[in-house]
Structure 1
Amino acid sequence: MSNSKLPFKIGISSIGAHLTNPLTGKKSTEQERVRHLIDMAIQAEAAGLDIYALGESHEQGFVSAAHTVMLSAAAQATKNITLMSSVTVISTLDPVRVFEDFATLDLISNGRTEIVVGRGSRIGGFGLLGYSPNDYEALFDEKLELLTAINEASEKQQPINWHGRFRSSLTNARIYPQPLDGKLKIWHAVGGHSSSAIAAANRGLPMVLTTLAGSSLNFKTTIDAYRRAAVAAGYQAQDMPITTTSWFHTAQSDAQAVEEFYPYFNGMMRELRSDSASIDFLHHSLAVDNAMMIGSPKTILAKMKYQYQLYRQQQFLAHVDTGALPPDLVKNNIEVLANVIAPEFRSFITREWA
């Protein structure tokens, strides 16, 4: 089902967390954190990466509620890198407004914009934006249906007629502005469940699969389900690419990577989830068949090769910051991924295609 003629794209992602540095007890200002997230896009493009993705959250500990505004700032500061959301929580947003925002971003970026829509792993935004978590699934299904209908109407340059439960109907409506090529690329975020992957395939949407940690083999089940469903629904491989995402931190040695990353990873768990992780969790994550991309460049390269042979995906996004990881360590992650790991991985991909 995979299309080996597609170029493999590598990028970075962030959810826009804004957390306390566990080693210093200090926290950057919101302005500093917003600036850093925009700088990450600039650094990623300068290093030669393909994608920068920024997610949305409306809760304490994040600065990414207006992620489209931040992506627009990144669009003005870059020229080539693809700008994705990761994710846009469509459930609590008006799809008309989402389309307007991303179509405008697409015009600003000269056609470099893609949307990743999802349900959201945090529900704090539901009440804030006037929705009930009790409608978690129904909201997502209806809002995504409307967004894709608007996108299709834009591509065909036709008005849209639509009726649903959670917002007023649309009658012969036309949504402006339109994206540069008339249509936006919309990805469906999947947290690992096969049922969500099957739903994405049935909707004809490419999939972004979160593979933060654990056995890579576990996620293959979801990918296989997605591809089977896509074939059954009559879709072609080139229209159904897959992106995988994972935590990413690298250093000169595996031991250094674990010791360096652990305080920030555990601090994030404590601050956002009131939980904790042992350092052994990260040591175990060094195994080649573990989905978490942590370790020396050699270890991470082996992991990426292993995953590609399992998944045959088309894109990989490295989640390079925790919300408190110092900018110099984030920049090192970006530069090593782009200049050390990516060239060797692309050579490997070329041999695989030969």
Structure 2
Amino acid sequence: MASPVLVTGAAGFIGHATAHRLLDRGESVIGVDIVNDYYDPALKEARLATFADRPGFAFHRLDIADAGAMAALVRDGGVRRIVHLAAQAGVRYSIDNPFAYERSNLAGHLALLEASRHARDFEHLVYASSSSVYGDRAMGEEGFSEDEPSVDPVSLYAATKRACELMSQSYAGLYGFPQTGLRFFTVYGPWGRPDMAYFSFTQKIMRGDPIEVYGEGKMARDFTYIDDIVDGILGALDNVPGKGGHRILNIGDSHPVGLMDMIETLERAIGRSATKIMRPMQPGDVTATFADVSKLHALTGYRPKVMLEEGLNRFAAWYRGHYAASMEAVQAPQLA
């Protein structure tokens, strides 16, 4: 029987979807999450509840920065592959809560590195990085390439993600176990994170509250649907680098969309119009993101399938279903 895959952040957006896909293809999964209150813990608990009738899934409520606990879990569980997705997310949150990033992103990543290097017959560590490591740069015609230097992070969150990449590079060279770092580009979809713009905009529009549009609406993002992201994660997991190999790969849609265009698409998806308050750029934000995914495509055949309009329609349908009870009394202006 194949060894289980350890998925950290299993109560999170991407971890939840990844664990389910692994189970769908017959893998057993050990899920780990601390279930903190960075955003509504009830949503995280609801994600975990979807595993209740799924054989092959075991959950441990643990802090990934607890190095001893993580090492024991990997050792005693016979883990040979890890998909490390747990982290303290959020660019703006890092301005006011820097030490949360030190523990979860830096100490947590180091704990997984140590657990991996001491594991028996360890095969592959795949971990989450971020498009934030590219900093605030001009958006060219080909997108951000993994070969470009990433030396000018504009947020602490981005700096910790780049530090994780460097730690992994060091461990791969020192201890010889294969690793893949994945730079995610603005993931969205059902079961998403309420702190992301498309989700918080939906909540406010449905309540009839105004939305705050930062960067005067001039920002652009490479919105990537959750199913496409999981395709890329599993493709990378299955294509293991050679001994001591460490690679960095972008996962994105490779079709950046302007913020105002996204809002218009979201308004159509939920059938309501938004009252917009324009705000200046926030500290730590970047103007645009744009993934060059040619390396991931060459390795795995990765090709995004879900465009933004379809993805937001799916999100809106999930949102109505998940929050149906709380929406019954909501009245907001209909989209003309």
TM-score normalised over the length of structure 2: 0.37
Greater helix share, structure number: 1
